[in-house]
Amino acid sequence: MAHLRIGVLASGRGSNFEAILNNIKKAKLKASIQVVISNKASAGALEIARSKGISAIHISSKQFPDQELFDQQLLSILDEYQVNFIILAGYLKMLSPTVVRRFKNRILNIHPALLPSFGGKGMYGIHVHQAVLDYGCKVSGVTVHLVDEEYDTGPPVLQRCVPVLDDDTPETLAERVLKVEHQIYTEALQLFAQDRVEINGRRVKIKPEL
C-alpha cells in the first residue's frame, strides 16, 4: 500500500488521535494525518488538530440532512486532502455504505472492549465499561477492527486483553483500557503502513515483518 494518508473522524476528546499523532512524531508510525473531521463543532479532537496545524473540519448531518449530500460532502473533503485511509477515533456516527465501499478495507475503528462482547449501538464510552463490570467479567480489552456497514461488526485486526480488578469502577477500568488503546491503534496502523495485513473474509492475518 502507498504511504498512509490518514483522515481522522472523531466526535469527542481526541486522545486516540493525539496518541497517534505523537507516535508519528516519534517515528513509531510511518503515516501522515491529512485532516481531522468531526460531527461536533466543539470536539476536543478539532481543537487538538488546530493547535498542531492540522486541518480541522466540522461537518454534520444537521447541515446536510440528506444522506447522499452528506456523503458527497464528506467524500469531497477526503479527496481534497488526498486521504487514502480513514480512522474512526471516537466517532459516534455510522458511516454510510457509500463511504464504507469507497474505502473498502481501509477504515479502522477502535473499541474499548473485546468484540463481539459489549459492542453495538449504545455501547460507547463509560457504558461499555459499566456493562463489563455489571457482567462480572475478569478481563476486558481493546479491539481495533475494520469497519463494515454496521456498528462494531467488522473483522478484528488486533485485540489485547486488559485485566478487570476487584475494586474497579467504570472510570478506573476506562483509564486502564485507554492506555492500551493509545498503543494498539498505532500498532495496527503501522501494520497497514508496512503492508503486513492480509484480509481473507473475517480472518485478518498479520504477515511477519520483512
Q: Catalytic positions, please?
A: 111
For position 14 contacting ligand GRF by CB under 6 A, the verdict is yes
Residues 6 or more apart whose Cβ sits within 8 Å of residue 78: 7, 35, 86
**Are the CB atoms for 156 and 198 separated by under 8 Å?**
no
Q: DSSP character for 11?
A: S
Applying CB under 6 A, among 95, 107, 110, 115 the residue interacting with ligand GRF is 110
Closest contact distance (angstroms) between CB of 11 and ligand GRF is 7
Q: Which residue has the cell 462482547?
A: 117
Task: Using the minimum distance from each CB to ligand GRF, give the nearer residue, 106 or 111.
Answer: 111
SS3 136: coil
Region 156-185 residues binding ligand GRF, contact defined as CB under 6 A: 178, 181
- Nearer to ligand GRF by Cβ, of 141 and 190: the residue is 141
Of 13, 28, 40, 52, the one binding ligand GRF by CB under 6 A? 13
What is the separation, in whole angstroms, between the first and last Cα of the chain? 15
Distance of alpha carbon 115 from alpha carbon 118, whole angstroms: 6
Contact footprint for ligand GRF (CB under 6 A): 10, 12-16, 89-90, 110-112, 178, 181
